């Protein structure tokens, strides 16, 4: 599975720690590539466009709080980004909402907790069933004028 990862300057250190911790994963790192001040929408949008094109299956986006990154990701058609601050939320984001983007706040989470959240999200699978009906409704809302 090809997973994208993106951050702004506030999430850069955590992004690099994630890549080191999950070194068996071939991350597509779309940036940023330094701690120099930058704008998260640029990198989040780049990652999400790759998901839309089918180049990536999932993505992780990181900014200071995760809020801006999740808002940006959820503006894009077909993206279901979940801002998670604990393992249970990450599991449910995948199992019930089939979240294809995990948003994290580097200034909110410690590295150890962030790694556990990511691991739980990666290890979880979408349950389908009644949850698919709800995702279909969300897709309908997204496509409405």
Mark whether 38 is an active-site residue.
no
Q: What backbone torsions phi and psi does residue 111 show, to the nearest 5 degrees? A: -60, -45
Contacts of 119 (CB under 8 A, 6+ apart): 22, 87
Active-site position among 38, 63, 84, 131: 63
The 3-state DSSP class for residue 134 equals: helix
Mark whether 96 is an active-site residue.
yes
Burial of 54-79, coded b for 16+ CB within 10 Å and e otherwise, reads: eebebbbbbbbbbebbbbbbbebeeb
Residues marked as catalytic: 63, 96
């Amino acid at each position: 599975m090809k997973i994208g990862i993106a951050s702004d300057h506030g999430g850069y250190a955590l992004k690099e720690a994630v890549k080191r911790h999950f070194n068996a994963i071939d991350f597509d790192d779309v940036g940023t590539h330094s701690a120099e001040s930058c704008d998260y929408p640029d990198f989040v949008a780049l990652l999400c466009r790759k998901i839309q094109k089918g180049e990536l299956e999932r993505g992780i986006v990181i900014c200071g709080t995760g809020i801006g990154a999740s808002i940006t990701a959820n503006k894009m058609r077909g993206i279901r980004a979940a801002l998670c601050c604990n393992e249970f939320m990450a599991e449910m984001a995948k199992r019930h909402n089939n979240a294809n983007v995990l948003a994290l706040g580097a200034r909110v989470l410690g590295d150890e907790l962030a790694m556990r959240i990511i691991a739980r999200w990666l290890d979880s699978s979408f349950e389908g069933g009644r949850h698919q009906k709800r995702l279909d409704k969300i897709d309908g809302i997204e496509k409405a004028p």
